[in-house]
Structure 1
Amino acid sequence: MLRGAMNRRLLLIGIAIGALLGACLPAQAAAERLDLARIEALAKGGAPGLALALFEQHAPASDDMKAWVPWERQRVAIYESQQDWDAIARRASELPSEAPDEFRRWMFRQAAQARLAANDPAGARQWLRRLIFGEQPVRDELAQWQRLVVRSYLAEGNLADAQTALLRYQHDYPARSDVWQVLHGEVLLRAGDNRGAYDVLAGAQSFEGRRLRLLAGLRSGALKPASVLRDAEVLARKLVAHPQDARETWAVAAEGAARANDTQARIRTLEQALRLPQQSGSLMATSADELWQAYDQLAERIGNSARLVIGQDCQWFRKARSLDPADPKAKRSGREKRDAIQARALFAFLTTQAQSARVRAAAHEWLTASLFEEGAIQLVQSLYLSSVRYPEVNRMPTLVRYRLADKALAEYNVQLAGTLLKDMQAPPAGEDESLWQLRRARVLVYAGDDKAAVELLRGLVAERPALDLDFADRLLQVIFDLQAVGRHAEALPLLEAVYARVDNPRMRRELLFWQAESQAGLKHYQNAAELFLRSATFGNSSGGDPWGLTARFHAAETLAKAGLTQDARSVYNKLLAVTDDPRRRAVIERNIQQLWLIERKKSTP
């Protein structure tokens, strides 16, 4: 079975009929079916691009503010989910002057927060100035704006202006709320007044306030490192739904572990922190290099205890495997317990300290496998993509690049996958070279490097005088991707080359159709119509099967675009003669009517 081509064929038949039927429906009816809840569901379901495309088609006009405002709020929510901070600020700058006061204040605040998230504190203050000096606040809005001003100064490390803004806030509002405690405590921590921060944060109930008090207590000596480690871990586990806050809390725990000289706990907490996203301007920054360093420290301690000597690669590697819970066949002593963290520390140590390149490569493999086993994809990315050990992608181990690219594709992170695979000429061990090159080509298309993808595909086709069906099917999937991004000039000769190298009537018939699509994409409508009709009747077919009917319908469309309206009418009439479905007949009859309008326009002087 020709999997890809067959699936695409069935999809086209459905689209050709279903989409055209949709085109016949009044625009008002289509709009009635598409409500805001459905667009919100698309965004939450992982299709924000589609949701935004539907926004452009169906959003109410801004002259109907009552209808327009809820749609605009949802648009901003989608931008926020995509971290498209520039888009939020742009929508705020384009806000209609007749927008309601309450919505305008909300939108300007969203823009300020977006600029802060984009690490543009000065840009945030521009929006905050418009709010503070140009808008009439309601209830506690002014206090919220002033707190954002303080945070903007903190984000750029401007403690003097942050403290000045804080004093102004303290003068204007009762400084007894939890929000005030957090803000004041953070300013004092950044200024190095750890004891003052600890005192100010006394009684704070919010997660952020409790985290900052633990940090202030640790740094001031008011709390013991072991107790901070314990309490921060407990707090972090309660923040599963707030990953950025959780990362900051794990970082506090890691600092507690470091001050307690508990290297294994430090690794445990750093691993947890680096699995999560870090917010810009963080008070508690953690890095992959800290974790590499902690791995090495623990490995040296284990090695010393086991009397291992640098250079004894096999002994070190056997020790690591004996500790790895994922290797139940490894030999271990009766008292030796499995410990994933200790195993990872040894593997990490061997990635740089093993004398044998083979052992270093194996250590990378086992280290990443252990982390992937725990679902720590973000952590592996941090270790290899955000560390001074690997300042450039091409200095990363090949196997790690391949595995990270595989995970990136699974998460639809095409840009990262393209970066990882771009200059990898040779496949990983055990991978078929041709299939590997096809995979690379597809990733390059997704990543926007169409030129490199086309060169790869041309080489794969040129070196084969004949193509078997399985390889041709896989090759077509990448060519379809080129068509999808509008690269018809590159796709067409590839399709022609595949046609010349396959000896299967069904696939050849389909290839004529795909060639016609690219000819139409290039606006070569006469060529496209010929190829559609050849596909419809290929192999002495009458063109009356579903594939043939679809091809003939497309032929009629392209004939009309080529100005050959009589031929288009002839094809449509023949389709009417064999079509019983009332809805499909309505589509064809509508298109015939359009031919009269085309002819009338051409004949009008």
Structure 2
Amino acid sequence: MFYGSLCIDKGALKLTHQKINCLIALLFVSLLGNSWADEKLDMLKNISAAGAPVLTLKMIDQAQPKFDVDLFEWILWEQERYSILSQWQQWDDLLVRIEGLPGDLPEQFKAQVATYKIRAYLEIGQTATARQLLREQLWQPTAGEVTEYQTWRRQVIVSYLKDGRIEDARIAMLRFNQDFDSEDEAWLILRATVLIQAGRYDQAIQILQVLDAWQAELTNLLAQYRSGITSHKAVWDLVKRETTSKELQPGELPTLWALGYYAAQQMSAVDRVVALEQLFMSGMTSPLELFRIPADRLWEAYIEYAQLVGNRSELLVGDDAKWLELAIKATKITPVKARSLFAQLMLRSPDREIINSAAEGYMLSFEVVDESEQNLLNQLFNKSETFSDATGIPSLMRYQLVDLALKRTDIEEATRLMSGLSSYPTGTSRFKWQLRQARVLILGGRYEEGNQILESLINEYREPTAEDTDRILQVLFDL
């Protein structure tokens, strides 16, 4: 089996801007006419696939009828809404939407909603809640007659895998096999995943070798690597080749780089950093459980590589000025090395000035902070346990992250980053920064904190300029 020979439908990938504009125009015409709902939904699916989920959801809001006016069509639109939210991993938004549903809905649709809800809890790591919901569904007298029954049984297996309960997952897998004669691709990949986690690589390879999908081929390659059939060099070379030589399906790029990271565990520290940076720069999560790696693993890789560099350079632990000097020197020639050294200082130095200098240096190590770099920063500082508390993020980095969050219109994340931030960026006035902070906190629901900052500003600026007055009135309006 050769992964490189995989045939890919390129037409299912990104659409051109011209096609997107045509789709939007056609959609508005369709919404004004009497076209069937499934035709409108097909257009929305294309727009979402082109990378415009926010636009798609807004259009659903406009087109979806009230559930008490046309229940059938309302369900069609609602199902598409859940599909889009799941595709773009907006799990919190999905759960909020589901919690607000009316109670008087068809049982078949309620079963579908339960499946989405359970998946959302699995994806955000609340496996105990997911299993409680699964018990509620599976213990119903008529559960076996529901279309979703097999899906729920598989979700039980996934919950065990996420908790590291491999033997429980294996037993649940065997029981599923006994109860159902299922040979669909998703089930075979899940079976192989359990077997790989259990160290039964030969059985996993036997299951996967007859499948052609990229998900199966990469899972098979991981099984071959862990069993010793394929070398780490062969895997690494394939990852480097495939990530640069062809267009990829959504979810394929992060899966490849996760595979590259596994191979790099038998290679050098710098290779591990490179693989993880590329993984998190992709801005996507692998759809396969085996290839999901937490962002904290990159912090660990940075520290490992930085310590190796420090030892080679005979730097003393605690001599942060020398570490910072070495990092700055490495920035242009070996930026990966520089970022590793800067990361070490951000996490280990007790000197606040050194920490902020390291944060600045980390940002300057990128030629440009484009979408890929923003994805990386988002994962490292907003999605990691290392900085689960935003107050631990260097203030200079928090300013940058706030700007990036606001550019994405992510008020929730901007609120988290701005909360408790008493300093302000160099080159801006304290008034403008704190007024902006108050507005973001108010829009993000932290009314008391935003109100306190606003009251302080009003008391301090008793005779503000007309411009300042307009700014304050705008925030008061938001409040």
Q: Which TM class, normalised by the smaller chain length? A: 0.7 to 0.9
Aligned residue for 2:305, secondary structure, equals: helix
2:76 corresponds in structure 1 to 70
1:360 corresponds in structure 2 to 355
CA contact 1:295–1:349 (8 Å) conserved in 2: yes
Give the aligned CA root-mean-square deviation in angstroms.
4.0
Shifted more, 366-375 versus 432-441: the winner is 366-375
Shifted more, 387-396 versus 460-469: the winner is 387-396
Q: What pairs up with 1:2-401 in 2 under 5 angstroms? A: 37=40, 44=52, 46=54, 54=62, 58-59=65-66, 61=68, 64-77=70-83, 80=86, 82-83=90-91, 84-87=93-96, 90=99, 94=103, 96-97=105-106, 109-111=115-117, 113-114=119-120, 116-117=122-123, 119=126, 120-124=130-134, 126-127=136-137, 133=143, 135=145, 146-171=153-178, 178-234=185-241, 241-243=249-251, 246-260=253-267, 262-275=268-281, 276=283, 278=285, 282-310=289-317, 313=320, 315-325=322-332, 338-352=333-347, 357-370=352-365, 373-375=369-371, 376-385=373-382, 387=384, 389-390=386-387, 392-401=389-398
Shifted more, 310-319 versus 180-189: the winner is 310-319
CA contact 1:89–1:114 (8 Å) conserved in 2: no
1:403 corresponds in structure 2 to 400
Task: Give the C-alpha shift of residue 432 in structure 1.
Answer: 0.9
Aligned residue for 1:365, secondary structure, equals: helix
CA contact 1:108–1:128 (8 Å) conserved in 2: no
Shifted more, 183-192 versus 35-44: the winner is 35-44
Q: Which amino acid aligns with 1:373?
A: V
1:8 corresponds in structure 2 to none
Task: Give the fraction of aligned pairs with identical amino acids, expressed as a percent.
Answer: 26
Task: Give the C-alpha shift of residue 105 in structure 1.
Answer: 6.6
Q: Relative to 1, partners in 2 of residues 1:218 and 1:304: Cα closer, same or farther, differing over 3 Å?
A: same
User: Separation in 1 of the partners of 2:452 and 2:166?
Assistant: 54
- TM value normalised by structure 1: 0.60
Q: Deviations over 1:539-571 (max 9, x none)?
A: xxxxxxxxxxxxxxxxxxxxxxxxxxxxxxxxx
1:452 aligns with 2:459: no
CA contact 1:268–1:341 (8 Å) conserved in 2: yes
User: Separation in 2 of the partners of 1:345 and 1:354?
Assistant: 14
Task: Give the C-alpha shift of residue 304 in structure 1.
Answer: 4.4
Q: Relative to 1, partners in 2 of residues 1:188 and 1:357: Cα closer, same or farther, differing over 3 Å?
A: same
Q: Relative to 1, partners in 2 of residues 1:130 and 1:211: Cα closer, same or farther, differing over 3 Å?
A: farther
CA contact 2:346–2:356 (8 Å) conserved in 1: yes
Q: Which amino acid aligns with 2:407?
A: A
User: Separation in 2 of the partners of 1:431 and 1:390?
Assistant: 26
Q: Which amino acid aligns with 1:272?
A: Q
Q: Which amino acid aligns with 1:121?
A: R
Task: Give the C-alpha shift of residue 246 in structure 1.
Answer: 4.0
CA contact 1:232–1:250 (8 Å) conserved in 2: yes
Q: Which amino acid aligns with 1:477?
A: Q
CA contact 1:310–1:354 (8 Å) conserved in 2: no
Task: Give the C-alpha shift of residue 200 in structure 1.
Answer: 3.4
User: Separation in 2 of the partners of 1:384 and 1:460?
Assistant: 29
1:425 corresponds in structure 2 to 422
Task: Give the C-alpha shift of residue 290 in structure 1.
Answer: 2.8
Task: Give the C-alpha shift of residue 441 in structure 1.
Answer: 0.9
User: Separation in 2 of the partners of 1:320 and 1:397?
Assistant: 17
2:21 corresponds in structure 1 to none
Task: Give the C-alpha shift of residue 111 in structure 1.
Answer: 4.9
CA contact 2:395–2:423 (8 Å) conserved in 1: no
CA contact 1:121–1:155 (8 Å) conserved in 2: no
Q: Looking at CA atoms only, which structure, 1 or 2, has the larger radius of gyration?
A: 1
Aligned residue for 1:361, secondary structure, equals: helix
Aligned residue for 1:351, secondary structure, equals: helix
CA contact 2:137–2:143 (8 Å) conserved in 1: no
User: Separation in 2 of the partners of 1:59 and 1:411?
Assistant: 30
Q: Relative to 1, partners in 2 of residues 1:291 and 1:385: Cα closer, same or farther, differing over 3 Å?
A: same
User: Separation in 2 of the partners of 1:114 and 1:387?
Assistant: 19
Q: Which amino acid aligns with 1:364?
A: A
Runs of 5+ unmatched residues, structure 2 = 1-30
Q: Which amino acid aligns with 1:446?
A: L
CA contact 1:201–1:213 (8 Å) conserved in 2: yes
Q: Which amino acid aligns with 2:78?
A: E
CA contact 2:254–2:284 (8 Å) conserved in 1: yes
User: Separation in 2 of the partners of 1:169 and 1:396?
Assistant: 46
Task: Give the C-alpha shift of residue 231 in structure 1.
Answer: 2.7
Q: How many residues align?
A: 430
Task: Give the C-alpha shift of residue 278 in structure 1.
Answer: 4.6
CA contact 2:82–2:94 (8 Å) conserved in 1: no
Q: Relative to 1, partners in 2 of residues 1:88 and 1:463: Cα closer, same or farther, differing over 3 Å?
A: closer
2:437 corresponds in structure 1 to 440
Task: Give the C-alpha shift of residue 274 in structure 1.
Answer: 3.1
Q: Relative to 1, partners in 2 of residues 1:374 and 1:54: Cα closer, same or farther, differing over 3 Å?
A: closer
Q: Which amino acid aligns with 2:437?
A: R
